Amino acid sequence: MPGERCRMQNMEKKAMKKRNLLAGEATGTVLRSDMQIVIPDDATVLCRRSAGRLAQALTLNGLEPAIVTGQDATARQTVRMTLGNGGMTYRVTADDAGNCNLTAGCDRALQQAVLELCGKVKNGRLPQISAVEGNAENLLRVMYYNVYGYGNLDSVPDRLGQQAALIADAAPDVLCVQEFDRLHRAGAKPLLEKAGYSEVPVTEDGGFLYPSGKNCEAIFYRADRLELLRSGGEPYPDRVEVDGAEVIGNNSNTKSTAWAIFRERTGGKIFLAVNTHFMWSAPELTGKQANAVRVDNARRMVVLIDAIRALDPAYANLAVIFGGDLNCGADSDPCAVVKTVLTPVYDMADTERDNIGYYGVYATYDETTGQYRYGEIPCEGGGIDHVFAAGLTVRNYLTDTCFRARITSDHLPKTVDLILN
């Protein structure tokens, strides 16, 4: 039958096209081990960081790329990075000689261009790319960061200024900080406000502090990108019952939860961001008691998320991102409670994720070198900083290991790039 014959021919054409595409990827141009990644002479910190990520990915393919500025480019094969006029679009091209161009309007768009290219390189080969174009406008960035409060401002010069600069470089739309004490409020908050961030109120009268005069788990956001719809917060209880006896549940009112419901100014979608800090293993607690207190913290989080979703019919299926310093490993009992309603973002990331301590790292300060050293303290599950989510797509889950991050806190910032479903 003519119709059936035509259908079969079309199917064969599609299959042949697919085979050709697969063959092209398998037999792409062999990348030279001495290729160079060329960045602008005035490259930003994030541009340099993107180049570093690309170099790391190429190294895993058996290459040894060097990162150079435009004036120092000498290699026969290059990847050139160009930043444009501040827009959120990006473009990736590659010729049949293996030369590649990444053009982006801003640092965040450039990061996405790098991720696109990393996904194309296989076994040290790169297929010809006529043009891959994208837009990072719909990507939301959320950062969770324990900033190491309660003193120690003199451990490195201008520690708070360096942390604020690190945050400004990463440019998250939502910033969730733990241990944001009075010293950070006095020194770092004005710098964050200067960078375009507003703090989320946690009390019914629009205040930023609880009756104790503290709020160490603060949320900041970019008002040009997001509209704040509702917010709140609550300290964890001072005492928690464990095996019939009351034990300490919150040391010096420093452990609390803040939450905020935001709406995108461009897409109009809404989501819930939750920031927390679970109880630590204080000397007054046995290991069993500390674990039980954190399990109580986690159960309260589950109840809180359900209660927020019940505030309005429009919130019934509200997308959620939740995280912070949970003071326990990924396979711990408290995390198991959280996993009953949310999924670890490490398991959700569909473009890039790193495996630094799996979920995070714990660090110790080395007075000899003046830096924090990682991996010195064994920690169940690889770390104690965790991020979970539901109702959204996670593109990237990355740990910031830049020099500023390593010297200014005993925790590393966790950054999540997401798209609301």
Tens digit of each residue's pLDDT (9 = 90 or more) over 214-255 = 999 999 999 999 999 999 999 999 999 999 999 999 988 899
Residue 354 token pair: 């790193």
Amino acid sitting at position 133: E
CATH 3.60.10.10, applies to 140-420: yes
In this predicted model, which residue has the larger pLDDT, 171 or 22? Answer: 171
CA angle 306, 312, 314 (to 5 degrees): 100
Q: Which of 33-47, 68-82, 274-288 has the highest mean pLDDT?
A: 274-288
148: left (phi over 0), alpha (psi -120 to 50) or beta: left
97: how many CB neighbours lie within 10 A of its CB? 13
* CATH superfamily of this structure's domain 11-135: Chitobiase/beta-hexosaminidase domain 2-like (3.30.379.10)
Tokens 């997001």 locate to: 226
The angle subtended at Cα 401 by Cα 398 and Cα 404, nearest 5°, is: 130
Helix (H/G/I), strand (E/B), else coil: 223: coil
| Exposure b/e, 318-337, CB count within 10 A at least 16 = b | bbbbbbbbbbbbbebebbeb
Give per-residue pLDDT as tens, 55-78: 988 888 888 899 998 878 887 799
User: Measured between alpha carbons, how far is residue 12 from residues 1, 8, 25, 96 in Å?
Assistant: 17, 6, 20, 27
Q: Is the pLDDT assigned to residue 86 strictly greater than 90? A: no
Structural domain spans, the chain = 11-135, 140-420
φ, ψ (nearest 5 deg) of residue 203: -110, 160
- Rounded CA separation 163/192 (Å): 10
